[in-house]
């Protein structure tokens, strides 16, 4: 079968890889679509994500959907031909974090397309994939598999919102209007936030946030460097801030605009190494700084929202590119003036 394999910085190859054997509790799926994520882009452009360096050839991709082609003897609830959402997380289910219901914090996690462990966990930009049965979430036959592949990034936004608790009636700011930021805006609006403000450095991304995702206001922090200053008056305007850009500067900008006792949630992956923080502000204003990493039960929630049509992910879909043209797709995906999220059509 064919797969998109990254060997390091700017070295992505479409090549044959071997199919894997199937255990009793596993399922072989055919991957239909795979969304190019920010982490995939980092592997392609830098050969690393955060502190995770590519040390062996790595099949990229974790935002995927498809259908079952073969089920192991213990996966009798899944039949060939069933459309499915494909959860990239394979927690161990036995460590203390898993037993506490915090599967996303599993100490022995296998996450698709990640160099976070060695040997690496090969990803979903391959025509076939073997997953544990609980990673395969069956959906109705009429489900749009392209939209369904957005379940994983939507789950990240939902999880970030759930980290805070109730957002009902609260003022929210989201820094960074890439796919994760936009889906966090959407999740905050759905959670009942009274007002959501989005920032970015690209007008095209901000237009999507404002016109399609429910942001009440947007600020281009590149062309309007003083745009956030007005929110610092009277001790800060926002109750909750979500930092989704992965920019240390964006993170630091939030401690002046969040009210005393407010919450800052780090959603985007920051550069490797230490990040300087205004700890005196964090302390004197009793601001709560939270981390948000991937998702947990929110993956199933995201699937349900997409399948039911309760959430519309169409605004972030920027087109599909055949797997054989993945290199050009990765180059195009970096043009944020034209692209929100490109998908690879894996099985075409």
For residues 305 and 313, the answer to whether their CB atoms sit within 8 Å is no
What pLDDT is stored for residue 217 in this prediction?
97
**pLDDT-based confidence at 182, cuts 50/70/90?**
very high
What pLDDT is stored for residue 272 in this prediction?
84
Q: Is residue 300 part of a domain?
A: no
Closest CA to 244 of 274, 276, 200: 200
Angle at alpha carbon of residue 242, lines to 239 and 244, rounded to 5°: 165
Using left for φ > 0, alpha for ψ between -120 and 50, and beta otherwise, residue 137 falls in beta
My answer on whether 74 and 186 are in the same domain is no
My answer on whether 145 and 201 are in the same domain is no
My answer on whether 96 and 119 are in the same domain is yes
My answer on whether 197 and 284 are in the same domain is yes
Q: Is residue 78 part of a domain?
A: yes
Q: What is the CATH number of the domain that holds 87?
A: 3.90.180.10
My answer on whether 46 and 106 are in the same domain is yes
What pLDDT is stored for residue 78 in this prediction?
96
Q: Is residue 99 part of a domain?
A: yes
Whether omega before 119 lies within 30 degrees of 0, making that bond cis, reads: yes
My answer on whether 114 and 174 are in the same domain is no
Region 182-196 average pLDDT: 98
My answer on whether 182 and 60 are in the same domain is no
Q: Is residue 37 part of a domain?
A: yes
**pLDDT exceeding 90 applies to what percent of the chain?**
97
Into how many domains does the chain fold? 2
| Structure-token pair, residue 78 | 């899944």
My answer on whether 122 and 225 are in the same domain is no
Closest CA to 176 of 241, 251, 243: 243
Check whether 348 has a pLDDT greater than 80: no
Q: Is residue 67 part of a domain?
A: yes
**pLDDT-based confidence at 250, cuts 50/70/90?**
very high
Q: Mean pLDDT in the chain?
A: 97
Q: Is residue 205 part of a domain?
A: yes
Range of the domain at 273: 157-291
What pLDDT is stored for residue 333 in this prediction?
96
- The model's pTM: 0.97
Convert the pLDDT of each residue in 275-316 to its tens digit: 999 999 999 999 999 999 999 999 999 999 999 999 999 999
My answer on whether 286 and 226 are in the same domain is yes
My answer on whether 144 and 13 are in the same domain is yes
Question: Measured between alpha carbons, how far is 181 from 213 in angstroms, rounded to an integer?
Answer: 10
Convert the pLDDT of each residue in 62-113 to its tens digit: 999 999 999 999 999 999 999 999 999 999 999 999 999 999 999 999 999 9
Region 205-216 average pLDDT: 98
Q: Is residue 341 part of a domain?
A: yes
| Structure-token pair, residue 321 | 């590119």
My answer on whether 115 and 249 are in the same domain is no
Check whether 36 has a pLDDT greater than 90: yes
| Structure-token pair, residue 174 | 């989201």
Check whether 58 has a pLDDT greater than 80: yes
**pLDDT-based confidence at 51, cuts 50/70/90?**
confident
Other CB atoms closer than 10 Å to residue 284's CB: what's the count?
10
Segment holding 162, helix H or strand E: helix 151-164
What pLDDT is stored for residue 125 in this prediction?
98
My answer on whether 267 and 317 are in the same domain is no
DSSP 8-state secondary structure symbol assigned to residue 244: -
Question: Measured between alpha carbons, how far is 90 from 135 in angstroms, rounded to an integer?
Answer: 7
Q: Is residue 221 part of a domain?
A: yes
Convert the pLDDT of each residue in 152-178 to its tens digit: 999 999 999 999 999 999 999 999 999
**pLDDT-based confidence at 142, cuts 50/70/90?**
very high
């Amino acid at each position: 079968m064919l797969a998109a394999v990254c060997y390091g910085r700017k070295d992505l190859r479409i090549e044959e890889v071997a199919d894997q054997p199937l255990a009793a509790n596993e399922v072989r799926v055919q991957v239909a679509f795979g969304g190019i994520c920010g982490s995939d882009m980092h592997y392609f452009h830098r050969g690393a994500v955060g502190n995770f360096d590519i040390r062996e050839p790595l099949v990229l991709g974790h935002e995927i959907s498809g259908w079952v082609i073969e089920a192991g003897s213990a996966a009798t609830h899944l039949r060939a031909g069933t459309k499915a959402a494909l959860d990239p997380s394979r927690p161990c289910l036995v460590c203390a974090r898993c037993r506490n219901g915090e599967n996303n914090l599993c100490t022995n996690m296998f996450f698709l397309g990640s160099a976070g462990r060695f040997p690496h966990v090969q990803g979903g930009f391959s025509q076939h994939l073997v997953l544990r049965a609980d990673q395969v979430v069956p959906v109705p036959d009429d489900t749009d598999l392209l939209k369904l592949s957005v379940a994983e990034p939507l789950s990240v936004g939902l999880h970030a919102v759930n980290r805070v608790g109730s957002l009902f009636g609260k003022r929210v700011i989201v820094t960074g209007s890439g796919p994760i930021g936009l889906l966090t805006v959407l999740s905050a609006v759905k959670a009942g936030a009274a007002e959501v403000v989005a920032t970015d450095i690209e007008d095209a991304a901000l237009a999507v946030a404002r016109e399609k995702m429910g942001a009440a206001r947007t600020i281009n922090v590149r062309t309007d460097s003083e745009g956030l200053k007005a929110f610092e008056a009277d001790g800060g305007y926002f109750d909750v801030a979500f930092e989704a850009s992965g920019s240390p500067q964006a993170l630091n900008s939030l401690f002046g605009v969040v009210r005393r006792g407010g919450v800052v949630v780090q959603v985007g992956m920051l550069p490797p190494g230490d990040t300087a923080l205004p700890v005196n502000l964090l302390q004197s204003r009793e601001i709560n700084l939270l981390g948000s990493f991937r998702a947990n039960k929110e993956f199933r929630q995201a699937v349900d929202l997409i399948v039911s049509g309760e959430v519309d992910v169409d605004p972030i879909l920027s087109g599909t590119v055949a797997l054989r043209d993945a290199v050009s797709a990765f180059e195009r995906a970096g043009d944020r003036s034209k692209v929100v999220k490109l998908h690879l059509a894996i099985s075409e």
